[in-house]
Amino acid sequence: MSHTLTVQWTIEPQTAPRPWLACSRCGGQRAFVCSGKTRLNANGRRLDAWLIYRCAVCEDTWNRPIFERRTVTSVAPDALAALQSNDPAWIRQVAFDIEGLRQCTDRIEDLADSSVERRVLGGTVDSARLEIVVVARHASSPRVDRLLSAELALSRARLTKLEAAGRVTLLPESRKALQRPIRDGCRIVLDLTAEDDRAEIAQRARGGP
Ligand SMILES: [Zn+2]
């Protein structure tokens, strides 16, 4: 029996994080939904660019600044081209830039509905140890327990028991591993020695037939 099954999970959130802001039209704090559209405005020799959001209740717009009052030459050419063509991949990058969004509001709703793409890096399903290498390029990511329970079909109670037995580790070393948000480059290690269904768990971890 080989010792460790190593898999890589690439996590792609499906829905952009939603900022909560005061809506001037319908009043009160509201979630704003990214429209996926940008606006580029020339004001004399200066350029402004925004990503457009809409209030989840009344659809009033909020313009999130991408940049403001910039000369054409100070804007990166690829950013300018992306804005002019409404490039979906580039817009997605901005929409998922949660750190940038934090400059506009403290309250951000992170809808952790993600797709997980699996790839085997080494080992077989009869391994006693499962190591998951996480690729999460977008900051918006679920907690470790939520991810494991959804993707490995393990109950939260079972995960808690495994953690109490010292069989769940998050690397770099972290206490209360299950409650941590997933970070790009982190590794989740599960010791499945005592689990009768470890082959099934490993199968779900590696995916495929
Ligand atoms: Zn509103």
Interatomic CA distance for residues 10 and 113, integer angstroms: 13
Cα–chain-centroid distance for residue 96?
8
- For the chain, the distance separating the N- and C-terminal CA atoms, rounded to the nearest angstrom, is 20
CA 164–ligand 1 middle distance (angstroms): 45
Stretch (H or E) spanning 116: strand 114-122
> Closest by alpha carbon to 102, among 34, 179, 21?
21
Q: Residue type for 89, please?
A: A
CA 144–ligand 1 middle distance (angstroms): 33
pLDDT, residue 43, reads 86
CB 2 within 8 A of CB 86: no
CA 102–ligand 1 middle distance (angstroms): 20
CA 19–ligand 1 middle distance (angstroms): 13
CA 63–ligand 1 middle distance (angstroms): 13
CA 171–ligand 1 middle distance (angstroms): 42
pLDDT, residue 140, reads 57
- Residues of the chain under the 50 pLDDT cut: 1
pLDDT, residue 182, reads 85
CA 26–ligand 1 middle distance (angstroms): 4
Interatomic CA distance for residues 21 and 169, integer angstroms: 37
CB 170 within 8 A of CB 185: no
CA 34–ligand 1 middle distance (angstroms): 14
Structural domains in the chain plus CATH codes: 4-14+112-206 (3.10.290.10), 18-109 (no CATH)
Interatomic CA distance for residues 102 and 98, integer angstroms: 6
